Structure 1
Amino acid sequence: MNKDTYEMGLPLIKKAGVEHKINFIQSPALSVLDELLEDHENRGSFAFAFVDADKVNYQKYHERLWQLLKAALKILSSRDEFKI
């Protein structure tokens, strides 16, 4: 997802009253995930993750995201045949 796509959906995000809960980050995913994992308070603190990145590293993204997500929550990926 790029910034333009996010901004197109922003009015709906605001209308839903969840703008304060969403942080759009456009950056190399592995480095951002590793940075988030360095702060132990981030572990288990995310309710949702959407992955739209290079398919070669999907397993690495999911391994890191699993540590960041709250228990029993789902990762939505642009490649729905991917299974963890």
Structure 2
Amino acid sequence: MAPGQKLYPRATVRKIVKAHSKCNVSKNVDVMVFLDYVLFMQSLMKEAAIDSKQAGERGVSAKSIKKVTADTLAKFKG
């Protein structure tokens, strides 16, 4: 983490998740949300890399990320 940045308060994350889910959440819900986010980003980049290679691009572009975003979001919808 860069100097001068503060961690997001865990209690605030719990309150936000609890408000959106309208059910009780565990005390480690912030860790689970972060891990789910990391898995989502990993999957998104993997799919975008595959798409960009199939399109003949040299690297991952914004176009290839936009193309696979909907499918990747659908996989993570719970």
The structure showing larger relative contact order (alpha-carbon pairs under 8 Å, at least 6 residues apart) is 1
TM-score by length of 1: 0.28
Q: Return the index of the structure with the highest Cα Rg.
A: 2
TM-score by length of 2: 0.29
More strand by share: 1
